[in-house]
Structure 1
Amino acid sequence: MSAQSSFLSQTLQAITTTKMREQDKRRRLYEAHKSGILETARASPNEKARLSVFLNGFKQLSTSNKGIWYVDADRESLVKNVTRYLEQSYRDPSVSTNILGRFESNFREKLEQESQRFEFADLYYRLLSEWTDTHSEPIASLRKDGDDLSGSFEHVQRYNLQDLKDKFSNVVFTPLETDEVEIDTYLHSLFEDDHASSLLEETRTRVKNFGNSFKARTTPFNNVVLKQCIQALLTNDLLNDDAKMTLSEFSTHNVVLDEIADVLNLRFSDLDNWSWEADEGMYYEPRRQANGKFRIMMDQDILQALFLHYIAVGWCTELKDAFRRFPTDSRFWQGVPSMTAEEKSRCHYFTNRIPSSTSGLVRERMDSFRETFLLSSLPNSLRDTSDPYGEDKDPEDEKSTGLGIRQLLLRQIATDVIIRRSLKGDVAVVQSDLQWYATGLPHSTLFAVLRFWGVSEDWISFFRKFAEAPLRLNPTPGEDVRIRKRGIPITDAFEKLFGECVLFSMDVAVNRLSDMTLIRFHDDLWLSGDPAQCANAWEIIKGFVKVLGLDINASKTGSIYLTNDLKDHGIAAELPDGPVCMGMLQLSDSGDWTIDQKQVSAHIRQLEKQLGQTTSIISWIQTWNACIGKFFQNTFGKPANCFGQAHVDAILETHATMQRALFPSHDGSVTDYLREQIQHRFGVAEIPDSFFFLPEEFGGLGLQNPFIPFFLLKDQLLWDPLERMLDFHKAEEKSFKEAAEAYAALSDADRERHFRRAFDGSPKHRAILTEDFFTFEEYTAYREKYSPALLTAYTDLMRKPSIQNIHLTNEIKPWFDELQYSHHVGWNALSDENKWIMHLYAGELKGRFGALSIVDRNLLPSGVMKMLKGKKVTWNQILWE
């Protein structure tokens, strides 16, 4: 553990210990007072005397949540009311001993509830102390049968990391010279017609002018700019933890920022002479990402990182805006053909409706492509990270993170498969990825592409110095320093800039040469549609990769060809081998997306190992929440109508299977397992389920229940997505029949009016007046581009389910009112999952603790808990990209 981590742990432990002492002092005072009350009550001669003892004692009782006015007022009202009832009983025989006995039982219950609150508050603090104790022992393996994972985990890790370093060295220090003339010729071939050539020249002029104006900026750095750069660098993985901590401190000191701005402005004014200034070499080390994968990361100087981030993002935003013009130009970007003017007029004449492409599926797909997937890795501003590897955020706006965009992509592919197969009878999906793309990108390819798009030679000179960085894999400064000859640093803005410049060229090539739109998320490549077109587009991708000196990642490449008839074996042979999958969902030959149980089993065994290596109950729960509560939820695919209700049922059954595998000797119960562990480590038994699942702010452990998110959605989805397309076809046939009947009922005068509106009375088209209503084939020929009904079906299939929240019942509503006063959190402020949990365990909590919370808010170490919840957990998988 680093010195900073150790200091942090000591600080947290001190905070926890201080509050624990205060809580323990209250507990001892309370228990002494309680014992006195019970002892005096036992010596009392009758019910009235005992009740009087409880009333007098209760007035003076120092409880754990004393001082909260709502609780104090309620307690005071109770005492006053019972005092008056007791007084009544001395003169009124109708106030029976049974009634007084119930009051006494109520006071005894409240005394016991308060003891329970103190006992579990004490346990809570002991758990926190264990979590911050650097000498805690690891939790034992989950299994009781002695079945260990094969081999030594640590040995495998060291071996594979060395293998990773060796492979990295072989790639980045060995140049791969590509033919820049061949690359330029290939890219020019995509712009041969006059309109495309004109667009290219406009783009080149724009890029050149931007480069000149950008370089001419005099004092680009100031406090505002630096704070934006810092915000972005703190949220990606470019810098190590120590550098991030320093950056975070910088952001709060304007005087320091002023000094940094002065230095960086001087550096920018002499851009032509910029260098890494790292004669001792910049250290590259394997760093584990949140998803468990290792990536070789550069240990970059903070000032250089700020300086380079500003320059890279400036270029990113400019090129993103310039490139986005191409797919919006219908004369350049190839797509589904539109109706001719005559075809539109015929449709208008027969149906009295003017076809509109703005209400069609093709337009919706293109809008989604341009707004969500196109160049999505490029940041929009200095503070925007646009992290394509982002895994830890799950916001409502899916377009704001890599995780969200991948979920959107998965839904779109699934929906496209259903619609295409329903309309055409066949569909193909191709998936691929580039092998070590950023790490192995040939510099000659990069500079050829930059020149093609109009980047001037002075900027290419700067970019070359950036790419050819002095590196060392040896932690000792100055030892084994070599100049990088291939690839670029990952997770910084330059990776996005250079990577997207090259791969946008692939987007253009696929579209111009195959009439398809490649759906690409960074270097993840997806094609979906007509099998012959997909096979053609795949050949274009392979040709592009070959010319530019890139490599296809065979392990992440595959395809599927679904048809209602016999497959065309020629087309099938041209498609790549391998499965089509995203996360742990795999597209089967039946057209269904199924959970890959083999992958699940492998991950569960890894999770078992990782849980066993945790050194505290809280770190165990953190790992559980990160893996079971987040990772698996995302990797199984977010539920949507395109997957149907069966997908949710499969997820629920898979979670049940996973827990049976993890806790075989506890009947698959995580709470029984943790209950046993706590009893073993702390000697506390009879722990209620609510203590595990209750949110931390109420004194629980915040254990995530992986079933609840899906039960909130259960039965809110289409049972069979294919039924939605059957409904569309029925509605389409009905619409055609009604339109044909309406046309047949027209008088000659009505047809003449239709003709004048549709064809403007043109004599050469008058023959249509004697034609029968057009055929169903003609009526549906352009449905993907013009049918509002098909767009509605697409929207329905893409739709995520609505949350069906638990309803707050009148019986327990007052308990949540009390929670609002005691913890400033009411029913409406709870998350959907916490509403389920709090309502499910409300009776247990109220019965055991007398409230919906366990620990008094003032005694909770809120700062410690906030840090606990913000602490990242990573998979300990031996994986890398």
Structure 2
Amino acid sequence: MDALSLTLRSVTSSKAAQIKRQETHFKEERLSLQSILDCEPNGNKRLKAILKTYSQFPLMPQTNTSRDKFIATIEKYLERTVPDPCAPIAQWERRLKAIIDSQCLRYEHANLYKDILKEWRDSTDEPEKLIDDSSFEVEDLCQSKDAIVKWLQGVFASTQASTKALEDLRAGVALFERTMKENKGHFTKSSMNWCIWGLLRSDLLTDEKRRVLTVIQQDEDALQDVIDDINMRMNTLDQWAWPTEGVTAEQRRQVGSKYRISHDEDLIDALLLRYVGVKWSVQMSERLVAFAKAHTWLSPLNTVSRNDRTRRDHFLGPTTDHSAGVQGQRLKTFEDDFFLAQLLRHEKEVDRGYEDDFEQEDRNRGLQTRQSITELKHSLLQLLNVGITVRKRLDDEVTVVQSDFKAFGTSIPHTTISAVLTFFGVSQSWTEFIIKALAVPIVFREDGPEAEVRKRRRSTHMSSPLADFCSELLMFGMDFAVWQCTSGLRLYRLHDDFWLWGSEDACVRGWSDMADFAKVMGLAFNAEKSGAIRVSRTTRTPLSSSLPRGDVSWGFLKLSSSGYFVLDNALLDKHITALIAQLASSKSLFAWIRIWNTYGVRYFMSMLGGERPASCFGAQHIALMQQCFARMHQKVFQDEANVANYLRKEIKGDSPERNSYEKSKTLYEQGRTVGLAQSRYTPHRPGFFPFKELVRAREQLSHDLLKAYKALLDRPKPVKVVTSDEVEAVLGGSQGLEGSYDLCLLELYKDGLVANFGGLNIVETKLLPMGMVAMARKERIKWNV
């Protein structure tokens, strides 16, 4: 729940309590008045008692000149020394009691409005609560820290070269920590700006806090105050802690009806953790790349002998760069795009969202825009397709393995992270801080004032640079283990989605090491997303039972044994059903078009590998994409057949311009066209000119279109409403309601309003959060799938 929703909830609750207190007091006074009237037979004294109580009531103010004049008249009458024996005392009493009774109705309607507001407010919250309690469990699935260290030692210190590279990595980490400790001015305007831009481009902040952060960034004094504050916190980092009352969490609905828990943390904490996470991410990226290069992980495999190179140079000419070619190109792509892709390479890197295009703005600010995860996925799919095509031609067959970890973000035990950090040389003080940052004390406000504060014992669920640093460092161990045991196969990985392809024997060894890694680290594979397949033109033997069972899939695509992708119609139909529901829920044509463009076009295209498939996919992939959209069009539009027909029908099938054309054609054919006799032009062909020619220049020449255009630009003026004397009395000369629609409504319902509520105002608006409602209605509507 964002800051605006929380504020709305708080204000609504406060005003509801205020209404309740006033209503209780009103009812008590009313009962007291009735007790007095039951014992008082004198009419004048009864009037005085009613007026006295009326003046003491906690009433909702009401503008009604007629009523006010009546009460003033009664007060003047009661001031007389000798009462008028002919005065209609009983009638006046009934009218005064009716005024008081109208307050009961106003309180009832205030409560009704409050309940309606609560229902509306609750409907803007997520419809259900799907909390993954696994991230709060205390029990760890891993064997122990000793088992983790032993496994890592076996992978990273198995040779003299890797042991030396590991020592250099740890030394670099120690140097980085000393530099961080000696720096007493971490935050400057420059570092604060890249921290702020990074946060604004992430999905961590609520809309309200985005606005606050933008205001701070633009205010020099406020920015300097924040810089000074965070520098003090950085210099006493060992004393930093989450608030004892916990951090409010909200569940955000994702594509595919999945929910993710997001933390609404304090802005200062968010900036501090962003800075720390970026620093560690950039530093560890540099150290791990150096380790990989020192151990030839990021070097081409030297499988060509010196003699072979010499003979090749003799017959084909000398080659200065023996790393050029497919292997070198594949290695460069792996290092640039996929090796530890979640780690930042530079402090000023920012994420690019699914639909964002801020590259020019980022360059102007000195920032670097990273490829979006969607772009990387499309690139990886193309690499896989190329790899399959090449291996199928050269080696006849290739085996592909795909998997990910089940609930990876919420399932990593903090004891595992602590052991991995320590193994790679992170000091105890920094390890304790990082684990403390990950162990967010969560409180779900929906649980009420007595909501339990629950402390995370597992997960890197913050989706921040610090969380990415921890998860990438952990997965680095699996990456290196697979490379070693497969004699050079590289695990293509995006966060915890990973792909491996090569010979079946190498894939079996790689999968075995992945399974060992998962067991030691306390993780589990996602069976629904784990699969393997052999692509071959000739081999028909069963796939090794050691590999995972299941399809190798990508979005709406499933890989076949022929090496081509086919449609997963079951998954496609599921999303088509969701698309139909979204389109049906749209409230306007523009909303319908937005949903169609975003979900029906862009998302579906992404699930087919992107809108610009590489040549490696071949013509059959284009046909598959056409098949997918044809299936979707048929189910979504049915009789309309396609989106164009649907929109044409919605906008309106019968065109006034076509009617005008037919009318003009008839006049021409009857010889009644104005000026026809004076025309000196002779058509080359008999008959009226075609409709296409008419509409071709309609924006330049069509009088009908000009007339319609001007009519659409006109602003209709309100019609003067003739109001009755009763409405004029209710308005009391006020000019607050001049709109014809409002006056018409008031004229229609004047009798009931005056009789039941004594005036125009049904409730006292100051007791209701009208301003908050107005603000909330201006907020962007969140689009859900």
Return the TM-score normalized by structure 2: 0.66
Partner residue of 1:347 out of 312, 315, 319? 312
Partner residue of 1:589 out of 550, 553, 561? 561
Contact (CA 8 Å) 1:428, 1:534: kept in 2 or not?
Answer: yes
State the shift of 1:438 in Å: 1.9
Partner residue of 1:580 out of 552, 568, 579? 552
Q: Is 1:412 aligned with 2:383?
A: yes
Q: 1:566 to 1:633 in 2, by over 3 A?
A: closer
What residue in structure 1 maps to residue 588 of structure 2? 616
Local SS of the residue matching 1:325: helix
What residue in structure 2 maps to residue 88 of structure 1? none
State the shift of 1:328 in Å: 2.6
State the shift of 1:504 in Å: 1.1
Partner residue of 2:630 out of 656, 666, 671? 656
Q: 1:254 to 1:587 in 2, by over 3 A?
A: same
Q: Is 1:173 aligned with 2:137?
A: yes
Q: 1:439 to 1:2 in 2, by over 3 A?
A: closer
Q: Is 1:293 aligned with 2:262?
A: no
Q: How does 1:157-168 map to 2 (within 5 A)?
A: 158=127, 161-162=128-129, 164-165=130-131, 168=132
Q: Is 1:379 aligned with 2:351?
A: no
What residue in structure 2 maps to residue 461 of structure 1? 432
Local SS of the residue matching 1:429: strand
| Alignment partners' CA distance in 2, 1:495 and 1:849 | 64
What residue in structure 2 maps to residue 686 of structure 1? 655
What residue in structure 1 maps to residue 642 of structure 2? 669
Q: How does 1:862-877 map to 2 (within 5 A)?
A: 874-876=783-785
What residue in structure 1 maps to residue 216 of structure 2? 250
| Alignment partners' CA distance in 1, 2:642 and 2:369 | 33
User: Amino acid of the residue matched to residue 502 of structure 1?
Assistant: L
Contact (CA 8 Å) 2:537, 2:562: kept in 1 or not?
Answer: no
Partner residue of 1:643 out of 617, 633, 638? 617
Deviations 1:52-94 (A, max 9, x none): xxxxxxxxxxxxxxxxxxxxxxxxxxxxxxxxxxxxxxxxxxx
What residue in structure 1 maps to residue 332 of structure 2? 367
Contact (CA 8 Å) 2:402, 2:552: kept in 1 or not?
Answer: yes
Deviations 1:617-651 (A, max 9, x none): 21111111111231112111132111112222322
State the shift of 1:446 in Å: 0.4
User: Amino acid of the residue matched to residue 431 of structure 1?
Assistant: Q
User: Amino acid of the residue matched to residue 400 of structure 2?
Assistant: V
User: Amino acid of the residue matched to residue 370 of structure 1?
Assistant: E
Contact (CA 8 Å) 1:279, 1:478: kept in 2 or not?
Answer: no
What residue in structure 1 maps to residue 516 of structure 2? 543
Local SS of the residue matching 1:645: helix
CA-based RMSD: 3.5
Q: 1:296 to 1:3 in 2, by over 3 A?
A: closer
State the shift of 1:3 in Å: 10
Deviations 1:285-324 (A, max 9, x none): 2112366532111111111000110011000000001111
Partner residue of 1:529 out of 498, 502, 526? 502
User: Amino acid of the residue matched to residue 215 of structure 1?
Assistant: K
Q: How does 1:267-306 map to 2 (within 5 A)?
A: 267-276=233-242, 278-289=243-254, 293-306=258-271
State the shift of 1:875 in Å: 4.0
Contact (CA 8 Å) 1:177, 1:444: kept in 2 or not?
Answer: no
Contact (CA 8 Å) 2:300, 2:323: kept in 1 or not?
Answer: no
Partner residue of 2:291 out of 308, 316, 326? 326
What residue in structure 2 maps to residue 557 of structure 1? 530
What residue in structure 1 maps to residue 276 of structure 2? 311
What residue in structure 1 maps to residue 403 of structure 2? 432
| Alignment partners' CA distance in 2, 1:636 and 1:451 | 42
- Residue identity (%): 28
Q: How does 1:757-836 map to 2 (within 5 A)?
A: none
Contact (CA 8 Å) 2:350, 2:370: kept in 1 or not?
Answer: no
Contact (CA 8 Å) 2:400, 2:533: kept in 1 or not?
Answer: yes
| Alignment partners' CA distance in 2, 1:646 and 1:188 | 48
Q: Is 1:634 aligned with 2:606?
A: yes
User: Amino acid of the residue matched to residue 536 of structure 1?
Assistant: R
What residue in structure 1 maps to residue 354 of structure 2? 391
Contact (CA 8 Å) 1:430, 1:560: kept in 2 or not?
Answer: yes
State the shift of 1:382 in Å: 4.0
Partner residue of 2:470 out of 487, 498, 520? 498
State the shift of 1:231 in Å: 0.9
Deviations 1:227-283 (A, max 9, x none): 21111111111122211121122221111111111111111111111111x111112
Partner residue of 2:148 out of 179, 183, 186? 183
What residue in structure 2 maps to residue 832 of structure 1? none
Deviations 1:646-683 (A, max 9, x none): 222322232233222111132x132443344445xxxx
| Alignment partners' CA distance in 2, 1:391 and 1:209 | 37
State the shift of 1:688 in Å: 9.1
Contact (CA 8 Å) 2:202, 2:351: kept in 1 or not?
Answer: no
Q: 1:410 to 1:871 in 2, by over 3 A?
A: farther
Indicate the structure (1 or 2) with the bigger Cα radius of gyration: 2
State the shift of 1:356 in Å: 4.6
User: Amino acid of the residue matched to residue 188 of structure 1?
Assistant: Q
Partner residue of 2:597 out of 593, 602, 625? 625
State the shift of 1:417 in Å: 0.3
Local SS of the residue matching 2:249: strand
State the shift of 1:520 in Å: 0.6
Deviations 1:820-870 (A, max 9, x none): xxxxxxxxxxxxxxxxxxxxx966755768999x989x989xxxxxxxxx9
Return the TM-score normalized by structure 1: 0.59
Q: 1:4 to 1:283 in 2, by over 3 A?
A: closer
| Alignment partners' CA distance in 2, 1:368 and 1:3 | 42
Q: How does 1:9-158 map to 2 (within 5 A)?
A: 158=127
Gaps of 5+ in 2: 8-115, 117-122, 360-367, 659-694, 715-778
Contact (CA 8 Å) 1:223, 1:261: kept in 2 or not?
Answer: yes
Partner residue of 2:421 out of 440, 447, 450? 450
| Alignment partners' CA distance in 2, 1:584 and 1:395 | 29
User: Amino acid of the residue matched to residue 192 of structure 2?
Assistant: L
Q: 1:425 to 1:609 in 2, by over 3 A?
A: same
| Alignment partners' CA distance in 2, 1:370 and 1:687 | 61
| Alignment partners' CA distance in 1, 2:561 and 2:225 | 62
| Alignment partners' CA distance in 2, 1:260 and 1:303 | 8
| Alignment partners' CA distance in 2, 1:844 and 1:665 | 30
User: Amino acid of the residue matched to residue 228 of structure 1?
Assistant: W
Q: How many residues align?
A: 558
Higher mean C-alpha deviation, range 299-308 or range 281-290 = 281-290
Contact (CA 8 Å) 1:317, 1:380: kept in 2 or not?
Answer: yes
Q: 1:353 to 1:575 in 2, by over 3 A?
A: same
| Alignment partners' CA distance in 1, 2:656 and 2:514 | 59
| Alignment partners' CA distance in 2, 1:872 and 1:597 | 31
Q: How does 1:166-245 map to 2 (within 5 A)?
A: 168-176=132-140, 178=142, 179-190=144-155, 191-245=157-211
What residue in structure 2 maps to residue 517 of structure 1? 490
Contact (CA 8 Å) 2:438, 2:462: kept in 1 or not?
Answer: no
